A and B are shown apart, each in its own frame.
Chain A
Amino acid sequence: MSCCAAGTESAAELEALKSEGPSAEEIWLSSRPLGDGMRQVDLIVPGVHCGACIALLERELPRTPGVDHARVNLSTRRVSVVFENKAGAGSAAPISGSHAETVLTALAEKFKALGYPAHLPGGGEEGADPAFRELLKALAVAGFASMNVMLLSVSVWSGADDTTRDLFHWISALIAAPALAYSGRIFFRSAWDALSHGHANMDVPISLGVILAYAMSLYETITHGEHAYFDASVTLLFFLLAGRTLDHMMREKARSAVRNLVRLSPRGAMVIRDDGSRDYLALDEIEPGMRLAIAPGDRIPVDGRVVSGRSDMDFAVVNGESAPLPVETGSLTPAGTLNLTGSLVLEATKSARNSFLAEMVSMMEAAESGRAGYRRIADRASAIYAPVVHLLALGTFAGWMMATGDWRMAMMTAVAVLIITCPCALGLAVPVVQVVAAGRLFENGIMVKDGSAMERLAQTDHVVFDKTGTLTRGRPQLVNAAAVAPENLAIAARIARASRHPLSQALASHDTAGELMPDFDIIETPGEGVEAISPEGEVYRLGRAMFALDGHNQGLDQAADASQVILSKNGVFMDVFLFSDQLRRGAIQAVARLAALGLDAEILSGDREAPVRALAGELGLASYVAGVRPRGKVDRLKALAEAGGKPLMVGDGLNDAPALSAAHVSMAPASAADVGRMAADFVFLHDSLEAVPLAIEVSRKAGSLIRQNFALAILYNCIAVPAAVLGHATPLIAALAMSSSSVIVVLNSLRLRRKTRIEHFARGAVSRITPALPGEARAESSLRTSA
């Protein structure tokens, strides 16, 4: 049991968490050899969030025989486990009866027993972030160089005589050269890329300014000139790298957190050969026509048809509904659906590349490429800014040449113009605001994938909600608990504990005794219900009316609106239990606040008409569309976009994923299917739907602060540029002006912190679940992630 989980998740939820996790075969397929007969596997464990979790996992996991050691990385929520591989050393063949298999089975069990659901990382997201390390190293070098050069420059400005000045200039040149080469290459590379493709980006004036400033200063130093700009060129790099590092940090942090939750498609499946032998094959090796054994609780790896067995399956992937549907011989099972109650044998009808999941992915990719046309504010600004700066510098050079004929003087002034207009403040204007806003949202349990998402969210004018799992909780709840006889409820709840069916689990949470009736003989019939025979020979049945009442359903199955379960004794009706979904917390308030913000809202659901209409009525939403398939949702969003709207999609299921990608901007709850979370721009970790209006408000404020920052930067340029063009900018003035404009922009961005502190949602949501400590609030968010 995880240390801090008690009291924050209901027992049923924890139960559900524990049931998931990779199997020994899947761990094997994703582990890698270390040599010396050891192998290592990296697992994602979202439940890890404090020191006690680290200590517990690092102490308990090595107690599994065969496991050498485990190391927890709290920032990325990963655990690296190193284990022995005595039998299968050097062979890549799937394990069969080897030492490693027993180790891995024990390891998988250990994770479940400790209460930390572990998942395998999804494809293509391994390892640390090399780009971030490169930025950080470049920033450190630029910082070192700018400090030292600035120190020498201050001495020069305060009136060093000729020899000393030259000496200091030479030392500055020696420090600046390697720093520029090392730290500047990030900008040089990007500028070169842009130029070689025939367009200019923000990095072109930066690179040009820095290189020209250095070259000019070197020339000045050689000719014993008075002014050198070494300090300006390295300080400029330092500020710009700081902005770029912040930008990168924000995007990567939230993105990796979202990525870490990805786990959907199984790594492989148990294939039954014609001779009856069983092999665990990787997903790519499964061909159409192979027979697959699917155990209860497994996800279907590829599209298939049931050959034998019957079960209940969760088709939420296809229609977004959590209510399971019965399957039997001949039923089709799309990849990604979840087998709940019975063992099945499937015949694969498609390979993994062509399965339902693959089709969803291609739909999402198509939608993503449509959205890639969106241009970030910073890009648009730089598209205007870069040519203006160059023309201005060129004009200055030409003007001074004509006026004085002194090319050295003209060049110096042009360089001063390039430096003073260099987009230092502009480079910081967007990332600082976005980092602060993202931090603000993160404290309220909302993760942002990247900065452009906030810009897009600020523009949204129409909200589209999915129903099940988004507006509602997506988990059935017993609604008539007060109406049924308590002793019947007690019996039903105890029988229900034996089943993994969602309705059974909802019923089981009403069990007060907490134990199975020990002497009952319990048999589950997949697709029908549970039969329990007491020691006295009484036969209790819990399930469908047809099953519980031996075919005399007495018209009970017609009560269609709510899901129902019947309890019978020896075939005689005892009680009926009704289930329905509950509204997600904050749904009504969220819809009201969206209306107050001037946004339209509508429901787009894969469910039947009646429940959708009822829900729309309850929330006061006039427009809704029911019975929509994944492609229909995408079409609806496209229609909205074509009508000039910028829709925000809020959805959770895998069936919503293509729609989440297709929308202008999208949000998903942390309880969403993994692919849904991947596709969404925002993920909210708290339960309450009030996160939606909150995110919109913060994004709008961030948007207005960004515009203010641009206005400040432009105002600064209006004052500084004429001074530079007229040749009044000495190195001291240029350095001061540049730094102060950056500092002003940063200070302005920090106002976002203060402005949103009074959000009533923020106070309400955090204090409701956690004590006042900020650390605890963080722990809470990470815990919700695992839900």
Chain B
Amino acid sequence: MNTLIFLIPIALLLGALGLAAFLWSMKSGQYDDLEGAAWRILDDGDDKPEQD
């Protein structure tokens, strides 16, 4: 019973952290272009030969 006093708030806090992270990432537009994000990670931005 005593451990619960610590464990329950910790569990809730971690869950709330995850929720906050999700809401923040959505607000900052990170879900606006999921398809583009999948492609962008493949582009390492180094100097490629010019293509035409």
What residues of chain A have their CB less than 8 Å away from a CB belonging to chain B? 1, 3, 50-51, 54-56, 72-76, 128, 133, 136-137, 140-141, 144, 147-148, 151-152, 163-164, 167, 171, 175
Total contacting residues, chain B, CB less than 8 A: 24
Contact A76 B33, beta carbon cutoff 8 Å: yes
Bound-state CA distance A261–B11 (Å) is 48
Which residues on A sit within 8 Å (CB–CB) of B12?
148, 171, 175
Smallest CB–CB gap between B21 and chain A, Å?
Answer: 10
Smallest CB–CB gap between A361 and chain B, Å?
Answer: 31
| Beyond A55-B43, A73-B33, A133-B26, 19 extra complex contacts between A and B, CB < 8 Å | A51-B39, A51-B40, A51-B43, A73-B36, A74-B33, A74-B39, A75-B36, A76-B33, A128-B32, A136-B26, A136-B31, A137-B26, A140-B22, A140-B23, A144-B19, A148-B11, A152-B8, A164-B4, A167-B4
Known A73-B32, A144-B18, A148-B15: A54·B26 in contact at CB below 8 Å? no
Taking CB atoms and an 8 Å cut-off, the chain B residues in 9-34 that contact chain A are: 11-12, 15-16, 18-19, 22-23, 26, 31-34
Bound-state CA distance A11–B32 (Å) is 34
Which residues on A sit within 8 Å (CB–CB) of B43?
51, 54-55
Smallest CB–CB gap between B47 and chain A, Å?
Answer: 11
Q: Which of B18, B23, B32 contacts A75 (CB 8 A)?
A: B32
Q: Which of B1, B22, B32, B52 contacts A164 (CB 8 A)?
A: B1
Contact A54 B23, beta carbon cutoff 8 Å: no
What residue of chain B has the Cβ atom nearest to residue A175's Cβ?
A: B12
Which residues on B sit within 8 Å (CB–CB) of A3?
51
Known A137-B26, A147-B15, A175-B12: A54·B32 in contact at CB below 8 Å? no
Smallest CB–CB gap between B35 and chain A, Å?
Answer: 4
Contact B36 A72, beta carbon cutoff 8 Å: yes
What residue of chain B has the Cβ atom nearest to residue A778's Cβ?
A: B35
What residues of chain B have their CB less than 8 Å away from a CB belonging to chain A? 1, 4, 8, 11-12, 15-16, 18-19, 22-23, 26, 31-36, 39-40, 42-43, 51-52
Which residues on B sit within 8 Å (CB–CB) of A56?
51
Bound-state CA distance A339–B34 (Å) is 40
Bound-state CA distance A152–B7 (Å) is 12
Which residues on B sit within 8 Å (CB–CB) of A54?
36, 39-40, 43
Contact A74 B1, beta carbon cutoff 8 Å: no
Contact A144 B33, beta carbon cutoff 8 Å: no
Smallest CB–CB gap between B46 and chain A, Å?
Answer: 11
Bound-state CA distance A438–B16 (Å) is 34
Smallest CB–CB gap between A48 and chain B, Å?
Answer: 9
Bound-state CA distance A137–B12 (Å) is 18
Bound-state CA distance A94–B15 (Å) is 54
Which residues on A sit within 8 Å (CB–CB) of B1?
163-164
Contact A144 B32, beta carbon cutoff 8 Å: no
Bound-state CA distance A76–B4 (Å) is 48
Can you list 6 residue pairs at the A/B interface with Cβ under 8 Å?
A75-B35, A128-B32, A140-B19, A144-B16, A147-B15, A152-B8
What residue of chain B has the Cβ atom nearest to residue A48's Cβ?
A: B36
Contact B15 A144, beta carbon cutoff 8 Å: yes
Bound-state CA distance A523–B12 (Å) is 79
Smallest CB–CB gap between B34 and chain A, Å?
Answer: 6
Smallest CB–CB gap between B17 and chain A, Å?
Answer: 10
Contact B42 A51, beta carbon cutoff 8 Å: yes
What residue of chain A has the Cβ atom nearest to residue B43's Cβ?
A: A55
Smallest CB–CB gap between B45 and chain A, Å?
Answer: 8
Which residues on A sit within 8 Å (CB–CB) of B42?
51
Known A140-B19, A148-B12: A75·B33 in contact at CB below 8 Å? yes
What residue of chain A has the Cβ atom nearest to residue B41's Cβ?
A: A51
Contact A141 B36, beta carbon cutoff 8 Å: no
Contact B34 A75, beta carbon cutoff 8 Å: yes
Smallest CB–CB gap between A605 and chain B, Å?
Answer: 39
What residue of chain A has the Cβ atom nearest to residue B42's Cβ?
A: A51
Bound-state CA distance A75–B42 (Å) is 17
What residue of chain B has the Cβ atom nearest to residue A140's Cβ?
A: B22
Bound-state CA distance A73–B34 (Å) is 9
Which residues on B sit within 8 Å (CB–CB) of A74?
33, 35-36, 39
Bound-state CA distance A267–B19 (Å) is 44
Bound-state CA distance A175–B12 (Å) is 9
Bound-state CA distance A91–B32 (Å) is 32
Which residues on B sit within 8 Å (CB–CB) of A175?
12
Which residues on B sit within 8 Å (CB–CB) of A50?
39
What residue of chain B has the Cβ atom nearest to residue A164's Cβ?
A: B1
Bound-state CA distance A72–B31 (Å) is 14
What residue of chain B has the Cβ atom nearest to residue A137's Cβ?
A: B23
Smallest CB–CB gap between A442 and chain B, Å?
Answer: 13
Which residues on A sit within 8 Å (CB–CB) of B31?
136
Which residues on A sit within 8 Å (CB–CB) of B32?
73, 75, 128
Smallest CB–CB gap between B9 and chain A, Å?
Answer: 9
